[in-house]
A and B are shown apart, each in its own frame.
Chain A
């Protein structure tokens, strides 16, 4: 199959980009894959694009460009025209992505492409695909965010226009149930597709270093201040233990203050963004997840892949579908900081327990191997193509 995956900005560093690249790499083993990026803000992508995948930018950077591009009358007209397709909340998230000329360029690209399958990767793009991708293509939407996290206008647009898609993928069974309740869904139209681990050699934690790792951008939803509170119990009982927080973003001033207030200056490191996250996680012995909510929990399977058990809040939605409590990690009651502290302390004090869970964690990671997830995608796409063919035949 010729598969086109449309992404907001393939040059950035977000989780969706990483998972789209992983999937593209897996599919490229047997298919012709093109990643189409609506926006481009730097010359080279932060993540290395997968081998044998074409990367097409719909807004290539001009080497001579020195300022924001001038907007022509035609661009402004296009923007007004396309404004009705993208919900306002979605459009406001990034003007660079949904600028009229880029959306127009996508429409032209779709019309002239010979792809068999086109996939959107966020609501605005899914809506564009649903509305404008030629019907000769199999039109698939990917949702990387839970339905409840979408603004009312986005949910409304989803309800009105997603029926124009031939299929939709979501990350968790909880997401699937939410969409089943929200939309009238034909059989087979909706599939749960977890994120995949990219191929490669993974390191393995020896469970010798007294290090707890946490990973994810500096954002309120990660609740790192609560993790600090929980870690205090470990740090007080076992001063040699360290907490390393990997995450980008500049909004860490409050966290820095909290570290000094809590007397954890010697034991907590704000590591910044890690390009080789699994390499870093393998240096640790425990992964902590203190999120208020996790769309999926890619970090958890990355921890599993290097033999690091996870202690996580039982938050909606990903962790409870990935972590098997007491087997490959611990799920503690949501928002219960004392329980998180107790879980971390228990594993910090028991290396044998960690080793046992590490074995199970590494085995669990196999379920997310790119080869397994790619096969699931191929089966989904084949089934959707067949269903589409049946629908056309019935209509004729």
Chain B
């Protein structure tokens, strides 16, 4: 079975568009359906019920289907119960769809993936709400960061929250105001805060950043997980800022693609 489009929409409905019209109609009449097989354990198979066909596509609602975290093969099950892989020519990435997906509150994320052999897979992962970083600006004494709330909301209109910076492996925190509007945030972080609190006894002072929501008091970790790029630490590079206190501050992504600031003492200070 070959499909040219394989997408998860924001309601966790898997949509498959077949190459050649009529396949979906045929599937309905044949009683064909889908199944998910856990990678690494061929015996763990979840039958997908509620598959609906229309014209050249089928839709399968996966929202309430219990799935463990991990990667699942998406299998076609024909009218006689035979299972086979689904080949997809969809790369699996739609940046616009991913942004839409972030907008809905959820605790589990589903993504479609095309493996190097062209087979369709589904990746399930438990998620917590976070603040998706879209843009970082570095000036002489500030870092501006903006983006959107992921997997949560904070009402409509314009409100003010704050960005909380916590020095890793230390207590205490620093805060800077953050504006929120229509699910988006923007904060200008004065770097003098970190420079003033710099511990010169440590080679590195890492400041992890959180967005505190005014509506609930919840804190969302800043990070970048919307697209398909993992390992951003080595893939994105930002300029640093040298503060008068002799502290150099560099925005970076951690090994978990979370967003932090790295402060180091300038050599010679």
Contacts and interface: CB of A to CB of B under 8 A. Distances in A.
A205 B91 contact: yes
Interface string A209-221: 1110000000000
B116 A265 contact: no
Interface string B108-126: 0000001011100000000
A266 B89 contact: no
B229 A269 contact: yes
Main secondary structure of the interface of A (DSSP, over half): loop
Contact of B228 (A206, A272, A283): A283
Interface stretch (A92-100, A274-282, A294-302): A274-282
B95 interface: yes
Given A202-B89, A269-B229, A260 B96 contact: no
| A-B residue pairs, 3 tightest by C-beta | A201-B118, A276-B116, A282-B91
A203 B235 contact: no
Most buried by A among B90, B229, B236: B236
Interface in A267-316: 268-272, 275-276, 279, 282-283, 306
A282 B114 CA distance: 11
Nearest to B88: A203
B238 interface: yes
6 contacts: A210-B95, A211-B95, A269-B229, A269-B232, A282-B89, A283-B93
B170 interface: no
Nearest to B231: A272
A259 B235 CA distance: 11
Contact of A272 (B93, B136, B235): B235
Given A210-B95, A260-B239, 18 more contacts: A200-B118, A201-B87, A202-B89, A206-B91, A206-B94, A208-B95, A209-B94, A256-B237, A260-B237, A260-B238, A266-B136, A269-B232, A270-B235, A272-B231, A282-B89, A283-B92, A283-B93, A306-B91
Contacts of B231: 272
B93 A209 contact: yes
Given A203-B88, A283-B91, A269 B118 contact: no
B94 A265 contact: no
B91 to A, nearest CB: 4
Given A210-B95, A266-B135, A282-B91, A203 B237 contact: no
Given A203-B114, A208-B96, A209-B94, A265 B89 contact: no
B175 to A, nearest CB: 24
Given A201-B117, A275-B116, A269 B93 contact: no
Contacts of A201: 2, 87, 89, 117-118
A204 interface: yes
B234 interface: yes
Contacts of A261: 239
Contacts of A282: 89, 91
B35 to A, nearest CB: 21
Contact of B118 (A203, A259, A270, A271): A203
A260 B136 CA distance: 12
Nearest to A245: B235
B116 A206 contact: no
A276 B5 CA distance: 19
A204 B117 CA distance: 13
Most buried by A among B90, B116, B135, B229: B116
B116 A208 contact: no
A362 to B, nearest CB: 11
B266 interface: no
A208 B228 CA distance: 15
Interface residues of B, number: 31
Given A256-B237, A260-B237, A204 B4 contact: yes
B91 A279 contact: yes
Contacts of B88: 203
Contact of A203 (B91, B136, B228): B91
A210 B89 CA distance: 19
B235 A265 contact: no
Contacts of B87: 201
Interface in B220-241: 228-229, 231-232, 234-239
Contacts of A268: 236
Most buried by A among B5, B91, B114: B91
A283 B111 CA distance: 15
Given A202-B89, A206-B94, A279 B236 contact: no
Interface in A229-273: 256, 259-261, 265-266, 268-272
Interface string A190-201: 000000000011
Most buried by A among B5, B93, B228: B93
Contacts of A205: 91
Contacts of B90: 203-204, 206
Given A203-B114, A203-B118, A275-B116, A265 B91 contact: no
Contacts of B235: 269-272
Interface in A130-157: none
Most buried by A among B2, B92, B235: B235
Most buried by B among A203, A210, A283: A203
A279 B114 contact: yes
A269 B228 CA distance: 12
Nearest to B135: A266
B94 to A, nearest CB: 6
B95 A209 contact: yes
Interface string B126-141: 0000000011101000
Given A210-B95, A265-B136, A266-B136, A204 B89 contact: yes
A249 to B, nearest CB: 13
A386 to B, nearest CB: 39
